[in-house]
Amino acid sequence: MDSVLLLGLALGLITFGVGMTFLIATRVPTPVLARAQEHGRFAGLGASQETTGVGRPRPAASVAPQLARA
């Protein structure tokens, strides 16, 4: 009986999390999302990729990897 209750509680919490995620994704107004993007809340999604920090593109590796030989 305890495992059934625990399983029900776990499924309930997962369902709650999915529901809240869906509501956040669908109910947040577009101006709020645009303002958050301008302030760097979405890493790498801004129009300016030249700035340093999170979301900065990595330079291409100039050295080819070498395989180890035994």
User: CA separation (Å) from 33 to 1, 4, 6, 70?
Assistant: 45, 41, 37, 54
Q: What is the pLDDT of residue 24?
A: 84
Q: What is the pLDDT of residue 44?
A: 53
pLDDT in tens, the chain (70 residues): 799 999 999 999 999 999 998 988 888 888 887 777 776 665 555 555 555 555 555 666 666 666 777 6
Q: What's the predicted TM-score (pTM) here? A: 0.46
Answer yes or no: are the C-beta atoms of 44 and 54 closer than 8 Å.
Answer: yes
Answer yes or no: are the C-beta atoms of 52 and 67 closer than 8 Å.
Answer: no
